Each structure stands twice: as C-alpha cells, then as structure tokens.
Chain A
Amino acid sequence: MFKEAAIRQPLILGQKSYGDITSDVINPIENKAPKGWYIAITISSIIALWGIGCILYLIGTGIGVWGLNKTVGWAWDITNFVWWVGIGHAGTLISAVLLLFRQRWRMAINRSAEAMTIFAVMMAALFPGIHMGRIWLAYFVFPLPNQFGSLWVNFNSPLLWDVFAISTYFTVSLVFWYIGLIPDFATIRDRMKTPMAKKIYGFLSFGWSGKAKHWTRFEEVSLVLAGIATPLVFSVHSIVSMDFATSVIPGWHTTIFPPYFVSGAVFSGFAMVQTLMLIMRKTMKLENYVTIKHIEYMNIVIIVTGSIVGVAYITELFMSWYSGVEYESYAFINRFSGPYAWAYWAMMTCNVISPQLFWFKKLRTSLGFTFFMSIIVNIGMWFERFVIIVTSLHRDYVPSSWTWFHPTFVDIGVFIGTIGIFFTLFLLFARFFPVLALNELKSILKVSGEEYKSKH
C-alpha cells in the first residue's frame, strides 16, 4: 500500500476507524439540530426575506429604484455579481485543481466548498437577471428562434460569453458536486431509522450500492470532470473580467484583467471557505478532520493569491503612467486621490497589506485571526470591484456630468438579502447533507490518518 512521507502532517487526527468517520459526519444529521442552528437560520431567513422583498419591489417598479444615474450606469449590481462569482471560485478550484495535483487535504473541505460555490453562483446569477428590469424576458440571452425574423444574440459580445460561462460553470459544478454526494447519500440512507428519512435519502442516492465497477467509473468521472473543470474555473472569471476589459472605459480596458480577476476570485473564495469552515468545524465538532494544518494550507493560498492581486494593482498603476494615455492616468490618479480614495485605500489595506501578516506562522495557524482575516479579505474584495466599477465611471470625459453614486435602500437591501439567502441555503446544506466527503475521507484514512501514520 502507498505510504505517505512521515514529514507530512496527518490530515485525520485521533484514533478513527471507518465507522467513526461515518458517525462523526452523520450524527449531526440524525440528531436534533442545536439551538444555535435555529437562531442562525431564523436570522438569515429574515434577512433573505427582506432581500426577496427588495427584489420584488425592484421588479415591480423598475431599476430606477437603484441609485444609478446617467454617469454611473453600473454600480452595486455588477459589483455584487462579480463579488459572488469570485467567491464561487474556491469550490471548484479545491475540488478540481487540487484533485489533479493530488492534494489530499482537499478531501475535508471540498464538499462544503463546492456547496458554497453553487450557492454563491446562484446569488451571482441573480444580479444580471434582475438588472434586466424585465426578468420575464431573460430567455432572450439564449439563442432561441423567435418571432422577430430570428433575431439572434450577439456572439461577439463578452456579455453573451458571460451567459455561457456562468451557466456552464454553475451546471458543471452542480453535477460534479452531486456525483460526489451520491455515495454519501447512500451511506445516510443505510443508517437512517425512520422510513421517511430512508425514502428521501434513498431517492437522493439514486440506488447507489458501491459495486467495484461503479467505483472505478466514479473515480474516472471525478478525474475527467476535474480535468475539464480546471480550465473552466480559469475561463469563467477571465470572461467576467472581459466584460470590462473589452470596453473602452479608462480604468477598465486593461489586458491584465483576466489573470488579475482569477487570482482575486480564488483569494476571496478561499476567504469565504475559511469563514464557513471555521464556524462549521467548531459547531459540528469536526476538529479532527478540518485540522489547523488545513486552515494553514488555505491561508497559504490566500497569501499567494493576495500577493498576485497586489502585484496586479501596482502593475495597473504603473501601466497607466507608462502608457502615456491621459485619460488612463487620470482614471488611476482619481482612484487613489479622488473623492473615492477611501474605497481605494480600504481595498489596498484589506487585500494587499493585511494578508501579508500570514507570513507569520503564529498568525496563520491562529483560528481567531484567520476568521478575522477571512472577513477582512471579503470586505476588501468587495471594495476592489466597487473601485473598478464606480470609480472608473463617476468621472467620465465631460466634467459637467461628474457625479457620485448613492446607493438606495433597494441597492443595500438586495445585497444584504443575497447574503441572507446564501447563508440560509448553506445552513440547510449543513443540516441535511453530508458536510464532509465521507468516501474520500475513508480512502485517505490509512495514508494520512494520525493513528496509521504513527504505526509505520
């Protein structure tokens, strides 16, 4: 059997057997939910309902209820869209890229990271939908035959590329996640006592029985899906960045955008995984599976991607000066010294300076500090998109039309509401779904388990 180098730290702590892994993960589903879960889901669903109310008001009245004006025609809507898509990048990165690199530490976090991805992409897809104003005509983004003499969508447009990228990313992530879930649903099905639960999980598990040939196919499907999902992850945020990069707005049309957006997406996605995993490992007592080492690995990814983002910010500034284009340089001077300079410096502090603190081992292995930083990073990444979008737009070519952007209560309500919907969905996932990939954890127990490692 394959033996892992002794220098690698164990990924499953304590004396665990295969049966223990099953019990540790499934007990929270079988037992009654703790009080904290009810409190959390109540709060998040109230916020979600407020958000849904704002969305309904928006659809009923029109997008004039947002704070947009003639100069700033794109603001929080697209900021939130890019922010959520970015968060949705960690899940498939963890499950696909880390699978190709045979990183065993991904096994403990991939399931919840993928769930987070799916919920985040759902929130992201909401924004272009409601931004249309007439959401019931949303099918017009697809090339469907129609009564206007077959008026097709424009395949040259990055906005259409986005439609294809986001929908492919969402459905492929969903399929990837569900195929991994099937064997674990079968485990729950075979443990449940009540007939109702047995029936529901039996239906969800699609009659999975764990035959040898099925497992061979399972592994092949995981590997091939990982192989094709890897370029997909990188393409999706590249295409999102092209919404800006192919335009002619100073501050937007820079060729650095695709790699810069992708690393930013991974950066914010990992931060969100940290936020969720740190709460989950504590409340669901998963400390033996999501160890300090896992947290440290994720923090290392955060330093690397955070540094790439930092280099990109500085490159952008340099290029705006070096290009000699007056409009371009003004856009950047306005960013760091104009009326929205506070947003720029908030972004710089949160995304470039503060993640560098993770170079200290003490800080990157500290749970409290990691939790704090994970929130800071996501605030910073929200500001990054805000800076790119609003700061580049609010002072356009004609100084007489220079203006501010003031969010209305609908802007704020929709944004906060999506956070509520996201957490509601995630809490439901944590309550009823296997939060760790049982079958994958069992397959690494003898290679990376603490007990087995100490034996040889």
Chain B
Amino acid sequence: MANSVIYAMYDDDQTLIKAAKDLVAKGVRVKDCYSPFPIHGIDPIIGIKRTRLGIVSFMFGLGGLSLALLGTWYFMIHDWPMNIGGKPNFAYHFNVPSFVPILFEFTVFCAAHGMAFTYLIRNRTLPGMPAVNPDPRTTDDKFVLEIDSQENYSMSAEDLMEAVKGTEVFELNHKQY
C-alpha cells in the first residue's frame, strides 16, 4: 500500500480534542496536530512527551555562572589584581560580593539565550525554513489532525477513513505519496 496521510480539519479546539480522544480510543495513532494557538490537553492524548527545555535552560544557566565565576577570578584576582581605594583584590572570596550583579546577569544571559536558541534549533524554526503546515488556515482559525497510514499499518485504509469520518470533521484531505 502506498504511503498516505490524512489531514482532518476541525473548526474548534474542543472538537479536535474530542476527535483525537475518539480516534485514539479506536486504536488510531495520530501523528501530529496543527493549530493556531496551543491547545491545552492535546499532548497526553496524542502521546507527546513533556519537553526538556527547562533542563536545558538550567544547564546553560549553570554554564553561564561557572564562566562568570572563572572570568571574574581571572580578570580581577589572577591576571591583573587592582588596588581600588585601598581595598586590594587579595582573594576571590573577599572580592566576590561586588561581582554578584555580574554573576547574576551573565547567568540569566546564558540561560535565556541558550534556551531560546535550543528551542529554535529543536523546532527547526530558523530563518529561511519552509513552512510545513498542511493548510494556510491552520495559523488562523482551523485545527488539523495529521494521521499517517504507515503508523497505522494494522488498520486498512478504509477503516482509517471511516474512523476519521466518524468525528465531527470540518474538512477532510487525503494525500498519497
């Protein structure tokens, strides 16, 4: 059987959630969902795992903090110790309170940018990337469920279509590859 993809379009987020639940109950695997805004509660239904971007941000923040600690130690204590107002930079622990603002700012800087760039790269949303949403209306007010026949090899194409038609679908598209 040739590979085919069914795009079931809905005109409401709640209808889509209901349809996704029905389909999953019937054993259909939903590949993806396209929507103009985040639909809360769709992820567990179609089996999307929680993102680990929060951890990424923490790691970048930790990296930023370490780098800032190393940098301030190197610039102010090791490489060129200065005597400012009779308060020389003898040791890092004496001097560190006045580095706190910069340690904090640099941590935030790395955490925020590291996370943002990881997010863009993981999403493959980068300058010049082509859009892959099946219908231009999915960024306006329509919601689409994407069902790949290859992921549903245990069901025949007819059964699959029947199952999708059973939901309150607004428009149905079937693409052969």
Contacts and interface: CB of A to CB of B under 8 A. Distances in A.
Interface residues of A, number: 67
A187 B139 contact: yes
Q: Is the interface of B mostly helix, strand, loop or mixed?
A: helix
A2 to B, nearest CB: 8
Given A17-B141, A164-B106, A235-B104, A221 B36 contact: no
Contact of B139 (A1, A210, A440): A210
Contacts of A183: 36-37, 139
Given A168-B108, A210-B133, A216-B48, A187 B122 contact: no
B84 to A, nearest CB: 6
Contact of B126 (A165, A206, A232): A206
Interface in A238-275: 239, 242
Contacts of B119: 179, 217-218, 221
Contacts of A152: 75-76, 79-80
Given A171-B113, A207-B132, A217 B54 contact: no
Contacts of A150: 79-80
B57 A235 contact: no
B82 to A, nearest CB: 7
Interface string B56-79: 010001000000000110011001
A221 B123 CA distance: 12
Contacts of A217: 51, 53, 119, 122-123
Contacts of B108: 168, 172, 228-229, 231-232
Place the interface of chain B in its size category: 35 or more
Contact of B37 (A149, A239, A443): A443
B101 A165 contact: yes
A190 B139 contact: yes
A225 interface: yes
Interface of A: 1, 17-19, 22, 143, 149-156, 158, 160-161, 164-165, 167-168, 171-172, 175-176, 179, 182-183, 186-187, 189-191, 202-203, 205-221, 224-225, 228-229, 231-232, 235, 239, 242, 438-440, 442-443, 446
21 contacts: A150-B79, A154-B82, A155-B76, A171-B112, A189-B139, A190-B136, A190-B138, A206-B128, A207-B126, A207-B130, A207-B131, A209-B133, A210-B34, A210-B139, A212-B42, A215-B38, A220-B53, A221-B53, A224-B54, A231-B108, A442-B141
